[in-house]
């Protein structure tokens, strides 16, 4: 990684402001955290700072409070879980700036951890307000960005704070960039991209950026309907992005010109309605009825995709193969997850709902890497710069040379 990391700078005795991504899901009835993987992902950086005798100030958002205090979006349950995982108490504040916060920061001793309240309770966070960023920066000597999942946002606590104090990468962000960057730079071949999800529009930039680097492109999910429409197939009531049919056709032409083997569904699970009681059936391509909607890839497609994946040494997967939230429409997605878990290959999961699927199926440990960033990973693989990464110090910069211990 070309950016300075937390291991490169002296942190002992320093106040270190760490932007983490603790935007974890909760059970609406009990308020309990249902998946703590994002908290666990930040532990290596936090534990390193504890062992290095830093004074640690953690900052995160939770949900979308739209710049207002929302009681259900307070970080209290996160503080409790983080304390359990660290095996030491984590203190907290009722806000993320102000006199009481400064007092809590001043009282921190070496190795102690403080988690500030939800930074998105302030409208200036998402606006990237420099004054708000300066207020956050004034709490610390060094900034560490370990929130890869939010690094595609030019928010005050992500990129704005870097204008005021030296800024470096945490271990999670470093690993994200190294693993995803490896896909673009030097993947072991054969290399397959398995893409799904609802919209082609979400994946266009990624597909355009990696099409010359892959050997296989496997397309499933709702977005497959747009590709099938571009091939003149009738997809019934399936949602098609009509304005992207030509784009899909162009991508398929480029794939063929580059010698990429493109695979679309040859059959599908279809339904007339979407809901818990909806009846699903298999339909071959070309026999999808006008009243049908594609809700998953079919069994023959699962077999075709699996056969190709078994040939590969590197696989990147982003996007479910169907409406996986409903059990009767989840078989294709689950089959792909199980297939990747059994591969003797580098398997990288592109965050968001795909990471959620792998986590819920308890397959995380069987994958090479599961990204914590949905939108961030897509933006990075699409060749776009991430504000939260760009704001960090380059290793060869003059300021970096002054900081390196």
Closest CA to 143 of 3, 41, 42, 19: 19
Give Cβ neighbours of residue 366 (< 8 Å, ≥ 6 apart): 340, 341, 342
Instruction: Quote the DSSP letter at residue 321.
Output: S
Report the Cα 248 to chain-centroid distance in Å.
24
Partner residues linked to 192 by β-bridges: 216, 315
Closest CA to 295 of 332, 246, 347: 332
Annotated catalytic residue 153:
no
- Beta carbons of 305 and 331 less than 8 angstroms apart: no
Active-site residue (options: 196, 319, 332, 352)? 352
Active-site residue (options: 199, 213, 313, 395)? 199
Closest CA to 81 of 45, 38, 110, 123: 38
- Beta carbons of 378 and 205 less than 8 angstroms apart: yes
Quote the strand ranges of 140-187, DSSP E: 142-145, 167-169
Token pair, residue 397, equals 């910069």
Rounded Cα–Cα distance for residues 235 and 284 (Å): 11
Annotated catalytic residue 401:
no
Rounded Cα–Cα distance for residues 217 and 203 (Å): 12
Give Cβ neighbours of residue 304 (< 8 Å, ≥ 6 apart): 263, 266
Annotated catalytic residue 375:
yes
Active-site residue (options: 15, 38, 153, 334)? 38
Cα end-to-end distance, the chain, whole Å: 18
Active-site residue (options: 67, 181, 182, 375)? 375
Instruction: Quote the DSSP letter at residue 368.
Output: S
Annotated catalytic residue 74:
no
Residues belonging to the active site: 38, 199, 352, 375
């Amino acid at each position: 990684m070309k950016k300075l990391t937390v291991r490169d700078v002296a942190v002992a005795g320093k106040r270190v402001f760490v932007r983490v991504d603790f935007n974890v899901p909760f059970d609406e009835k009990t308020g309990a955290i249902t998946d703590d993987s994002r908290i666990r992902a930040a532990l290596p950086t936090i534990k390193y700072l504890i062992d290095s005798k830093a004074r640690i100030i953690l900052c995160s958002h939770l949900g979308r409070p739209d710049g207002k205090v929302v009681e259900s979006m307070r970080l209290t349950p996160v503080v409790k879980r983080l304390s359990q995982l660290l095996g030491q108490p984590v203190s907290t504040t009722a806000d993320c700036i102000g006199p009481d916060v400064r007092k809590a920061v001043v009282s921190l001793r070496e190795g102690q951890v403080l988690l500030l309240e939800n930074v998105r309770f302030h409208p200036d966070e998402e606006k990237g307000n420099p004054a708000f960023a300066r207020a956050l920066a004034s709490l610390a000597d060094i900034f560490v960005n370990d929130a890869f999942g939010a690094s595609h946002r030019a928010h005050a606590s992500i990129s704005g704070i870097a204008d005021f104090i030296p800024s470096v990468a945490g271990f999670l962000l470093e690993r994200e960039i190294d693993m995803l960057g490896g896909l673009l730079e030097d993947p072991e071949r054969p290399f397959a991209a398995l893409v799904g999800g609802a919209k082609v529009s979400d994946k266009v930039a990624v597909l355009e950026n990696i099409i010359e680097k892959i050997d296989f492109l496997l397309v499933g999910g709702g977005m497959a309907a747009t590709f099938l429409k571009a091939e003149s197939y009738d997809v019934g009531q399936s949602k098609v992005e009509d304005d992207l049919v030509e784009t899909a056709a162009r991508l398929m032409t480029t794939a063929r010109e580059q010698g990429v083997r493109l695979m679309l569904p040859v059959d599908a699970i279809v339904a007339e309605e979407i809901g818990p009681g909806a009846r699903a059936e298999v339909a071959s391509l070309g026999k999808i009825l006008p009243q049908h909607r594609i809700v998953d890839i079919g069994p023959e497609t699962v077999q075709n995709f699996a056969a190709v994946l078994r040939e590969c040494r590197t696989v990147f997967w982003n996007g479910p193969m169907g409406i996986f939230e409903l059990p009767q429409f989840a078989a294709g997605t689950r089959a792909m997850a199980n297939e990747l878990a059994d591969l003797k290959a580098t398997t990288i999961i592109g965050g968001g709902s795909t990471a959620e699927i792998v986590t819920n199926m308890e397959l995380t440990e069987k994958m090479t890497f599961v990204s914590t960033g949905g939108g961030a990973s897509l933006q990075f693989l699409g060749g776009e710069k991430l504000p939260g990464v760009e704001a960090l110090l380059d290793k060869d910069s003059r300021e970096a040379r002054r900081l390196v211990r």
